[in-house]
Amino acid sequence: MIRNTLWLLTEQPQRWRPVATMAIALLLLGAAPVLAADPDNLPALREQALVAANADRDEHGLAPLELTEPLNQAAQAHARDMLARNYFAHESPDGRNVQDRYREHGGPEGRVVAENLAQCTGCPAEIDAARIEALQEGWMNSPGHRENLLTPELDQFGYGIAVEGDRLVAVQTFSGPSRSPGQAEGQPARPVSQDEAGALVLELVNAARGQRGLPELAASDVLDAVAGAVLPEPGVESAMPADDLGTALPAEERERWAALALSSAGCSGCGAKLDAADADWFSRQWLDGAETGQVLLSPDMTHLGFAAKANGSGGKSAVTVLGRLRTDR
């Protein structure tokens, strides 16, 4: 009788907190493996792995994962690399991680990525449906791996598996838009329109101004349009310099405003759609910032405009424009 050892390792997506990593040892029984490269039936094994993962998600009322090539390729490349260079970790010896591998194989920017790893020594050489089920069971019995498998905000899946000598490694990869950084764990999403998000930002900013005895800002359709004109695409840091904001005003409005100021913010892996929690998060970033907070809490400003955009893949950007109307006209 030969003892087989299966090691599991998980890397969870960064949801505005440090990545958690854990290792767990499980014991299984079986026969010694023989040398093998990528399994000939790899496409079928991936489909079986997807079915197993989605069966567990379905039991918990979660939407199914979708198999995608960037995640498949990233997973298989990591499985091969761990065998070739004899290591077992989320980070390769040259410092590349699951995010790097996903991007290298065509994964889009803005999505969070997570990874589950398993390593088995002395496992049966044949990689069949039973082996896939055993690996899935091991991951589901481990809290960290289970969390990746049952994270609602992850919606895509990849799988890699390879054997060399008496060693088998398997890799599950996941990606998704995740959720708003302002959305608490377990809090349901509340999608909002850009206008609704702007109204929430104005409410939150005015609440902060009220605590300091400052006059409320008024909403401004004109400044909303300016914010929309200078709003960067998600993932692009630049926005129009404050000195050039006047050029975004309609010609007939330029003489009406004495001052304009801009604040911008962005995030990745923060949900597919604009959410009410985004309004809170963007507002907090600006109010807590040394320079942006000074602008939002300036007693001289009179009006606020807002624009935001979500790209559907987890990237979001937002801009608020503060203005002061002239009083000498």
Token pair 């091969």: residue:
80
Residues 292 and 201: their CA atoms lie apart, in Å, by 14
pLDDT digits (tens, 9 = 90+) for 216-275: 999 999 999 999 999 988 877 666 665 678 888 988 998 899 999 999 999 888 888 999
pLDDT digits (tens, 9 = 90+) for 19-44: 222 222 232 323 333 334 678 789 99
What are the distances in angstroms from CA 279 to CA 14, 65, 111, 219, 232?
Answer: 20, 29, 20, 15, 17
| Best CA proximity match to 159, nearest among 241, 232, 78, 240 | 78
Q: Phi/psi class of residue 254: alpha, beta or left (left: φ > 0; alpha: ψ in -120 to 50)?
A: alpha
What local confidence, expressed as pLDDT, does residue 189 receive? 81
In this structure, the number of other CB atoms found within 10 A of the CB of residue 120 comes to 25
Pairing of strands 303-310, 218-219: parallel
Q: Which residue has the higher pLDDT, 20 or 313?
A: 313
278 pLDDT more than 90: yes
Give the start-end residues of each E strand in the chain.
2-11, 21-30, 66-67, 112-121, 156-164, 167-176, 218-219, 257-267, 303-310, 316-325
Average pLDDT, the chain: 84
Is residue 82 within 8 A of residue 110, CB to CB? The reply is no
pLDDT digits (tens, 9 = 90+) for 132-190: 999 999 999 999 899 999 998 899 999 999 998 888 999 999 999 888 888 776 677 88
